[in-house]
Amino acid sequence: MKLNHPALIKSLQTAYSAEKAASFAYIGHAKSLKDKTQVARINEIEQDEWEHREHVLTIMLEYEIPVSKYLEIKYHLIGKIIGFSCYFIGEFMPYFFAGKLESGNVCEYFIMMKYFHTLGIHKHDEILYEMGVKEKEHEDYFLDCVREARWLPLFETIFNWGVKHSYNDVDLADIKPVNQATEYCKNYKVEK
């Protein structure tokens, strides 16, 4: 079955390639750290991103959605550059920008769920929900890593992410069940 939903197709292709970029970035981030506990946690997050990539590919294959060669090259380079930069930009910025990125990724999966629902498809709800929640866990971890940093107030003002700002409305302390997950990300831009 092929999908007639350009925004959903684009979202899936982008998510597939962007998960590779995130994984490469986390490889560099982990290698730049000395604390073994932090390294282990970043390695776990990297593994989550590879698993998300596999799940997205499974969905794409089901609907004969091709992998975008352009996005694969683009995000491959972005991930490698970010990973390499972690050796030079200090400890704060890799955590901050990873948290900011993960914050936006949360809604990507809940929006995909909404897109599928417009086509009457609900079979991917569980996995999309799980990936969205996992991205929120990542965001919260990175925020905890920078919460007390002296640079956070300035960066939060400039980049609109931090203690007072998030790109999603998911609260892990009061998480909605799968069948209510489309209530998340109402203010997120949805393409028709």
Has this prediction a pTM greater than 0.85?
yes
Domain contains 191? no
Q: Given this model, what pLDDT does residue 187 score?
A: 79
Domain contains 179? yes
Q: Given this model, what pLDDT does residue 160 score?
A: 93
Q: Given this model, what pLDDT does residue 189 score?
A: 65
Indicate the Cα dihedral angle 135, 71, 31, 85, nearest 10°.
-110
Domain that holds residue 130: 6-183
pLDDT, average across residues 16-24: 96
CATH number for the domain spanning 149: value is: 1.20.1260
Domain contains 190? no
Number of domains in the chain: 1
Domain contains 73? yes
pLDDT digits (tens, 9 = 90+) for 23-75: 999 999 999 999 999 999 999 999 999 999 999 999 999 999 999 999 999 99
Q: Residue 14: name the closest of 138, 150, 117, 107 by CA.
A: 107
Q: Given this model, what pLDDT does residue 188 score?
A: 74
Residue 1's pLDDT band (cuts 50, 70, 90): confident
CB atoms within 10 A of CB 86: 24
Backbone angles phi, psi at 26, to 5 degrees: -70, -30
pLDDT of 191 over the 90 cut: no
pLDDT digits (tens, 9 = 90+) for 169-181: 999 999 999 999 9
Domain contains 141? yes
Domain contains 189? no
Domain contains 192? no
pLDDT digits (tens, 9 = 90+) for 95-154: 999 999 999 899 999 999 999 999 999 999 999 999 999 999 999 999 999 999 999 999
Backbone region of residue 162 per phi and psi (left: phi > 0; alpha: psi in -120 to 50; beta: other values): left
Q: Enter the tokens of residue 155.
A: 């960066």
Q: Given this model, what pLDDT does residue 68 score?
A: 97
Domain contains 120? yes
- Alpha carbons 106 and 136: distance in angstroms, whole number: 6
